[in-house]
Amino acid sequence: MPEDTVDDETIDKTSHLPAYAQLANILRMKISSGHYEPGSRLPSEPNLSRKYALSVMTTRQAVGVLVEEGLVKRIQGKGTFVQRIGVVTSNFELEVFQKVFAEKEHLDVTVLKAAIEPATGLLCKVLQVAEDDRLVVVERLISHRGQPFTIQVGYAIFNPESPTVEAMLDAETLTGLFFDNGPSSFMKGELRLLPTFFSKEEAKLLHGKAGESVFKIEHIYYDFANQPVSYGWFIVSPEKMPLVCRMGVWNE
Amino acid sequence: MPEDTVDDETIDKTSHLPAYAQLANILRMKISSGHYEPGSRLPSEPNLSRKYALSVMTTRQAVGVLVEEGLVKRIQGKGTFVQRIGVVTSNFELEVFQKVFAEKEHLDVTVLKAAIEPATGLLCKVLQVAEDDRLVVVERLISHRGQPFTIQVGYAIFNPESPTVEAMLDAETLTGLFFDNGPSSFMKGELRLLPTFFSKEEAKLLHGKAGESVFKIEHIYYDFANQPVSYGWFIVSPEKMPLVCRMGVWNE
DNA sequence: AAGTGGTCTAGACCACCTA
DNA sequence: AGGTGGTCTAGACCACTTT
């Protein structure tokens, strides 16, 4: 009476797909098919290692893939448990931002405003400067493949020698857009995603309707001394930048 | 002429902090201090292994931590490179959602509506049912520590035997709120984050102002047969649920 | 050919949980 | 005490990139 003999797939060590990925696929399949039910325990790592003739480290790597995907959760001393999918563990990536800004050859930047202004109220607080200190302000309309994509507004503390200011004013190479490719290095930054609505001007520039609900992505960057160096935001429509998060097993 | 003798920290193998975490800390420090500049190459893993007297696997684990944090990027055959921080690689987690719903003892749920209705227009499309098929609809006000937190609206295909319907109507145990603890298992789901604004009623219930910009988190779940089983959304103010993403090195 | 990251082994010991 | 995940070693071979 054979048990567990041919009911399972095995690891093909001649395959180009790494063993850990093969095992991850097998386990993922068993989870999505209901063979391992939500809340239940996965076979222990030593057991999986024996069953699929892999070392513990390789087995751990396979399970680690599922952990990254949020399908299972490891609890030391107890085991690895199949997770139920749910809203609470999700995260939203700025995938569209990545794709759009990666295609530099299809980006067009129009400078709407570039000026030096005295700092006021909120800006003083955010950038930790005194009232009337001078700020560089730049507003840009960024189009992607001919379609208006986002409006960017940025403020930086004015300092002719600061690479930040240089980068901001450098529309040509886009370095000022998101500080991903510039000469300066920042210790840290913070993003904040907010709901807002199109102003009349924004709607016109981005081909939307005034009052339409859109995203605002605020960003603030700090230098090595922990001082804020720039503050600004992007305005972008959810139609141009859908924020979607998939949970569970897709594409099987 | 000593070089690299005492300028570097070393790994304390008697520490409770794992060696890989210690090395990750060292490397993170060197990145944030500018010792390793953005765009530059990290020492190779064999080099780091020799330098800190660790095995390759342990060194890899340390570098893996920084990869997860987005501070460095591995490129096979070339090396590991320090990344510049930027907007494009960020993601937003629903941390507040996690925390709020984890404190089940501090949640209060008021059922605003529970009914069976015929499907119409948009709902037919989303749930892939025929016009006038019956749907269960539930609206809830969820309060956390006495403060109104979110309004949840959910639709499910009516089937008295479906665990989804059971879960939705089960206000007591909150299982219907986000399907994270219920008896049913779902193969997959999709979330969509959207900007919108408070309706008059929503504003009143959530102590906000009508017309205020807020988040809408749409969710749709599918069963094992890939059929939609439920659709709905949460309405929540950005003040109650800030969506923040930190980039670079914080808390050093 | 040499250097890099990517995968893998066959063990080992530790920390934690349950019985 | 025995099982579980967490860490670690000292090698090995492979795939990819550069010289």
How many angstroms separate the CA of B77 from the C1' of D19?
A: 13
Q: Which residue's alpha carbon is at the shortest distance from the C1' of C14?
A: B16
- For residues B186-195, average pLDDT: 87
Test B188 with A246 for CB contact under 8 angstroms: yes
Lookup: nucleotide whose C1' is closest to A59 CA: C8
- CB contacts < 8 A, A to B, total 186
- The residue among B29, B35, B55, B84 with the most chain A CBs within 10 A of its CB, best to mutate, is B84
Query: Comparing A25 with A180, which gets the higher pLDDT?
Result: A25
Whether residue A224 has pLDDT greater than 80: no
Give Cα A2 to chain centroid, integer Å. 48
Interatomic CA distance for residues A241 and B195, integer angstroms: 11
| B79's tokens | 């090396």
Please count the other Cβ atoms lying within 10 Å of the Cβ belonging to residue B16. 6
Give the model's pLDDT for residue A153: 92
Task: State if pTM tops 0.85.
Answer: yes
Residues 6 or more apart whose Cβ sits within 8 Å of residue B121: none
Q: Which nucleotide is nearest to B43 (CA to C1')?
A: C4
Nearest Cα to B124, choosing from B134, B139, B112, B116? B134
Residue A159: predicted pLDDT = 78
| CA pair distance A53, A100, nearest whole angstrom | 44
| Closest in B86, B196, B219 to A213, CB measured | B196
Question: Which residues of A fall within a CB distance of 8 Å from B84?
Answer: 179-182, 185-186
Closest CB to A89 among B86, B98, B219: B98
Three-state DSSP class for B90?
Answer: coil
If you average pLDDT over every residue of chain B, what do you get?
85
- HEC letters along A199-248: CHHHHHHCCCCCCCEEEEEEEEEECCCCCEEEEEEEEECCCCCCEEEEEE
- Chain B nearest-CA distance from A1, in A, is 31
Least confident interval from A41-55, A117-131, A162-176, B77-91 = A162-176
Q: Is A115 exposed, middle or buried (0-12, 13-18, 19+ CB in 10 A)?
A: exposed
Please indicate whether residue B249 or residue A26 has the higher confidence score (pLDDT): A26
